[in-house]
Amino acid sequence: MNNEPVHPESEIQELLDGRLSAERGAQIEKHLAECEQCRRQRDALVFARESLRASLPASPAPADVVTGVEMALDREERQTGSPGSVKPVVARRRLGRAAIAAGLAAALALAFVLLRHEGSLPSAAARDFARVRSGRLALAFPTENAGELGSYFVRERLPFRTRVFDLAMMGYRLEGGRVHSLAGRQSALFVYRGADGQLLVCEMYEGTTKDLPRALETRQHNGFDFHIYKQGNRTIVFWQEGSVTCVLVGDGGPEQVIQLAFAKAMKAS
Amino acid sequence: MADPFDQAFNHRRARFEAETLSLMPAVYRFALRLTRRPEDARDIVQDAYLRAFRTFGNFRPGTNAKAWLFTIVYSVFVNRWHKEQRESGVSVEELENEFPRLLAAEAPAAFRESLSTRPADWAHAEVDAALRRLPEAFRSALLLVDVEELTYEEAAAALGCPVGTLRSRLFRARKALYVALREFAARAGYGPPRPETK
């Protein structure tokens, strides 16, 4: 007795989705070769799937969606600390009061140190650099033209003036920029690339350098204070221009990044 | 002692972003198809990422981050938006019942050949209009499997239904979508008039 269904309707779908065994797939293929009705069904399912896939391509999420998520995560980190990195200390009854107090003090000190760095502006700038480097942070406005990028930031209605400089004379080519968020502050982000692949990421945001943690080094140059931080092979330099603070992050060598920051600040002054 | 910034960079936020940020275009697209409104999609994406960040400890590295994240997105949608929305889609049975009649009257291959434009060239808005006619449960199954390419098991987990239910919804949704697309093509003049099926 033949148990083969007359028209294996749902199995046609399973065949299309690659869910049948080779043996069963061959049986359904054989049936399709002989059955016009099932071939029509298969063609209709393929048509629907193909139309759907072709018409809904992945495109970058709108800039305000990306910024909204980043700001929400920044808020979350500020409110709770980094989840999982600092656990509340659970006092045990066996511990004496002095031990409990000492433990709490140590935990609070640790929490202070971690929170200070994890939610900090230098940490956020370094993270943005890493995301640009890895391609995880896309440029909403790719251009090599500093003027065009400046106009883009005006169109995006940033609440502060941006100044995008051409660093070609210093061996860095502009790649483009985007409206972004640096540790919860709306920022203009732009990216330069050196001839040997060195990356330079600049961000500008409304704020002062008073919000920064203590720097590894602070240098004065041409009337500006430059706050210098290090993260791995990256050098992070902050300075303030009026109501706007700029940060430059680069992996082209500490002194080179610092000198680029000097040059950029000089041009802005 | 490790550089504090290295420690900071390697902390949970960085690992979370490494797993999830590249998925944001797909997450937004899914949320937009679910809610039909960009402002609601934006809120869903934000809520979902926040919830995912809070529960990142539950995510097992090496497993499918996309399936995990889409499960959260759908849960946010169901909890916060779904209840507020009244389905405006047509009855899927109505479209589904047309399917065998339409196939009997016209071969899809012939319809496809007669199109003045290829399916791959159909504009986003046109397929989107057909998709929007489907009830949410069917639309979600199509989006997760056909667009986001989740497995049946992953899509079923995201939608909170058995795999068999997902399979059935998917089958019915594809048939309904074909009928809706065929109707749309006829109205828009992309192909021949829709054959009489009654």
Give residue B11's pLDDT: 65
Residue A155 — pLDDT band, cuts 50, 70, 90?
A: confident
Count CB neighbours of A102 within 10 A.
Answer: 12
- CATH class, domain A121-264, is alpha beta
- What value does the mean pLDDT take over residues A150-163? 85
pLDDT tops 90 at residue B68: yes
Give residue A233's pLDDT: 80
Among A44, A49, A232, the residue with its CB nearest the CB of B6 is: A232
- What value does the mean pLDDT take over residues B135-164? 92
pLDDT tops 50 at residue B153: yes
Q: Does B105 touch chain A (CB under 8 A)?
A: no
A91 CA to chain B: closest CA distance, Å? 23
Least confident of A3-7, A249-253, B109-113, B119-123: B119-123
Does residue A266 contact residue A216 with C-beta atoms inside 8 Å? no
Contacting residues of A for B126, CB less than 8 Å apart: 55
A137–B21 C-beta distance less than 8 A:
yes
pLDDT tens track for A258-267? 988 988 886 5
Least confident of A194-203, B46-55, B128-137, B153-162: B128-137
Q: Does B1 touch chain A (CB under 8 A)?
A: no
Q: Does B50 touch chain A (CB under 8 A)?
A: yes
DSSP class per residue in chain A: -----SS-HHHHHHHHTT-S-HHHHHHHHHHHHH-HHHHHHHHHHHHHHHHHHHHS---PPPHHHHHHHHHHHHHHHHHH-STTTSPPPPP-TTS-HHHHHHHHHHHHHHHHHHHHHHTSHHHHHHHHHHHHHHT-S--SEE-S-HHHHHHHHHHTT-SS-------GGGTEEEEEEEEEEETTEEEEEEEEEETTS-EEEEEEEES-GGGSPPPSEEEEETTEEEEEEEETTEEEEEEEETTEEEEEEESS-HHHHHHHHHHHHHHH-
B29–A58 C-beta distance less than 8 A:
yes
B183 CA to chain A: closest CA distance, Å? 13
Report domain extents, chain B.
4-82, 92-188
Give residue B198's pLDDT: 55
> What is the spatial distance between Cα A169 and Cα A192, in angstroms, rounded to a whole number?
12
Task: Give the burial string for A210-249 (b: 16+ CB within 10 Å, else e).
Answer: eebbebeeeeeeeebebbbbbbeebbbbbbbeeebbbbbb
ipTM above 0.90, yes or no: no
- The CATH number of B4-82 is 1.10.1740.10
pTM: 0.58
CATH T-level assignment (fold) for domain B92-188: Arc Repressor Mutant, subunit A (1.10.10)
pLDDT tens track for A79-120? 765 443 333 222 233 333 433 344 444 443 333 333 344 457
Report domain extents, chain A.
9-116, 121-264
- What value does the mean pLDDT take over residues B67-79? 93
Contacting residues of B for A126, CB less than 8 Å apart: 5, 8-9
Q: Does B46 touch chain A (CB under 8 A)?
A: yes
Residue A143: CA atoms inside 13 Å, Cβ hemisphere, count?
Answer: 18
Specify the DSSP class assigned to residue B191.
S
Does residue B48 contact residue B34 with C-beta atoms inside 8 Å? no
